[in-house]
Structures are given as C-alpha cells and as structure tokens.
Amino acid sequence: MSFPANAAEESGRYAGRGVSASKNEIHAVVDKLERGAFPGAFCKLTDDFLTGNPALCNVTHSDGSGTKSLLAYLWWRETGDASVFRGIAQDSVVMNIDDLLCVGVTGRILLSSTINRNARRIPGAVLAELISGTEAFLETLRGHGVDIRSGGGETADVGDLTPTLTVDSCATAVIARESVVDASRIRPGLAIVGLASGGLCAYESVENSGIGSNGLTSARHELLCAYYAGKYPETYDHTTDPSLVYCGAYRLEDALPGSTLGVGRALLSPTRTYAPFVLRLLRELGSARVAGLIHCSGGAQTKCLRFGTGVHFVKDNLLPVPPVFHAIQKAGGTSAHEMHKVYNMGCRLEVFCAPEDAASVLAVAESFGIRAQVVGHTEASQTGMSNHVTLRTAEGEVLEYAGS
C-alpha cells in the first residue's frame, strides 16, 4: 500500500493560501519536547504544579477563532450588525474547551480571552459584542452543567500587527489523574463513533452548517467573490496568488445550494460544542471505558493519526456531508483527499470505545439530538508501528493517509 508523501499532502489550494493542515513544521519541534504526565493524550497534561497534589494533573490549552473573524468583519461592514461577533466569541471558547473534553475535562475550567485589534477599523461596539458574547456563552455552558468561569483577558490595540482583529482564548483546568481520558489507549479492535457537526441539537437555537473553525481561510476564498477583495483589501494576504483570492461566485447574502442557510450564515455558524454530550457520556460510561476522544479540528478526518500506536483507522461509514462542504469542494475543484484533511466534513468529534459500548455512546448523542453513527473501526496497522487512515467517501472513493 502506498501513501502520498508529506510534501504532496501540503500542496493544494489550502497550502497555496499559506496555511498548513498537518502543521508538520510545528510538530517537528513540539514533538521533541517533554510530553507531560500522559504522553499520548490529546492535550498535554502535567503533574499538578498549581497545588502539588499527586492525585491531580494540570492542563492548559490555547486556541482561537482563526480567520473566521474576518467573515464576521465582512458581515458587519456590509450590514452594520456587530452582534455577528458573538458567534466568533463562541468559536474561540469552543476551540479550547472541546480539546480539553478530549482528555476528560468537563468542569472547573478557567478561561482567559485575548483580542488583538486594529483600533482604526474595530470600534468599541465590536469589542462589546465579543466580551458580552463570551460571558453569555459561558453562562449557557454552566446551564448545561459545565462549570466554566472567566478569568478576564486582554484587549490590545496592535494596528501594526493586524489589519483587522484576532480573537483567541486560553483555558486552564485541574483534573484527577484517574479521570483522564488517555488517547494512547486507542488500539486495534475499537469502534469509532462519529458525532455530526451540523444540524440542530437540543442546546442550539439555530441550525448549524457544521463548518466549525477550521479551513475558513480556504472556505472564505473559495466561496466568496472578487467584490470583497476590491472593497476590503485588508482581509487577505497580498502575497497569495491572485487566482486563489476571493475566487468564488457568491456574496454573503446569496443562498447556499442544498441548504436552508445563506452562504454567509453557513460560513459563520458558531462552532458546536460537545461539552454537554461528553459530560453525560463520562458520567454514564466512566473514563476507563472511553479509549479516546478525538476533536477533528486541525487535520480533520486525519487528526486521529497522532494517537495510539500501530493503528489502522478504517472509516468506511462516514456521516452525510453537509451542503457547505459540497459547495466549497465544487467551487475550488478541491480533491476529496484535501477536503477530508482540511475540513471535518460533517463529523467533528470521534469516540473510540469497545464495540459493545457503541450503543451507549449513540444513546447519549441521541438524547441531545446530535446525529451519530459508527463511522468505522480500528485494526492493526499494515505498516508496523506507524498509524494510517483509510477513508471511504459516499461516492465510493478510497482515500489513504499515512502518519509521520
């Protein structure tokens, strides 16, 4: 069996816009550092430095909304509606806490936010929506049993660094060592249960397109038209090949084919959190019966490659692909291989468990109105100790991805 080389994987339209799905350069450095108390876990956990309790671990995670904030900027500039930034605040929070979920953290989370802005373009009204939006979302999470508190943050006026704004967060938690979900336990013989990223679940008020907060650099340029390049030159990197800049056919207000959402609303759908689901799942099954939780963010359907040893991930029953991803792929003529490495393609959380526990996982998902199904299984790797992924798309195309 042959696999594309890493160099080839970094070619394509996403890389052409200066973005890496695999982050190989970063991993080449980070993977050489000390890996913490649970070296194979989804996030780095350290011995409890804060209180010195040997029964506890500390975990800190930093992430943000990425270039999705630029879509909110375009929407606000076109409509005057600054409330769109409340969704960006949610994106920044979810991209942190949903990674923490993957090591078993479901509460006692302290969050700090950082907003870097160009004050000439981003006024106080936008900051107000971001700050109040963050607080409102944290209150919503607490209402579902997820104890998360604000530890404040920083707003910096850095016009020399950013033409518009960036929205980032950092989350810190303490967890009992016995409660850690350790993804190093991912092994052959497990079921892979996938949870949908789109639709309308019990704790959401509007339909979600499923896009999340990954791949938005390409999604924005593939779908939106040259009108935005001309009117808002501050929203893109001018060293990018012009053929890859706002090369789509749509305006934000246009209808998205096959969807009840418009293009703008689909791209701006706030990232769904799986916190209420994971909280209930771990209460019902216990962390020992969950071999791993994988947040399919950077790396998307290949994110699992980094966890476990000698594992062949076979995903041959993928969830239906939401319309927004079909539109992105069609607009850019992007290969299925690249799409599944950049975008979650309708599945943003994977639960790895014994096959006999899959029904329990599905039942918890159903209780929240989240579509879920067994999307595949794990078996022994055909390449020795290296992991690899085999995906079968709905069109019957077989895609192969190799681990490093």
For the chain, 404 residues long, give each residue's pLDDT as a single digit of tens: 434 434 334 457 767 776 655 556 665 666 666 778 999 999 999 999 888 999 999 999 999 999 999 999 999 999 999 999 999 999 999 999 999 999 999 999 999 999 999 999 999 999 999 999 999 999 999 999 999 999 999 999 999 999 999 999 999 999 999 999 999 999 999 999 999 999 999 999 999 999 999 999 999 999 999 999 999 999 999 999 999 999 999 999 999 999 999 999 999 999 999 999 999 999 999 999 999 999 999 999 999 999 999 999 999 999 999 999 999 999 999 999 999 999 999 999 999 999 999 999 999 999 999 999 999 999 999 887 899 999 999 899 999 999 86
What's the chain's Rg over C-alpha atoms?
Answer: 20
b/e for 215-253, b at 16 or more Cβ within 10 A? bbbbbbbbbbeeebbeebeebbeeeeeeebbbbbebbbe
Say if CB 227 and CB 78 are below 8 A apart. no
pLDDT of residue 34: 75
CATH node for 1-33+181-207+272-404: 3.90.650.10
The CATH topology of domain 34-178 is 60s Ribosomal Protein L30; Chain: A; (3.30.1330)
pLDDT of residue 26: 60
| Sequence spans of domains, the chain | 1-33+181-207+272-404, 34-178
Same fold, 1-33+181-207+272-404 and 34-178: no
Q: What is the rounded CA–CA span in Å between residue 389 and residue 377?
A: 10
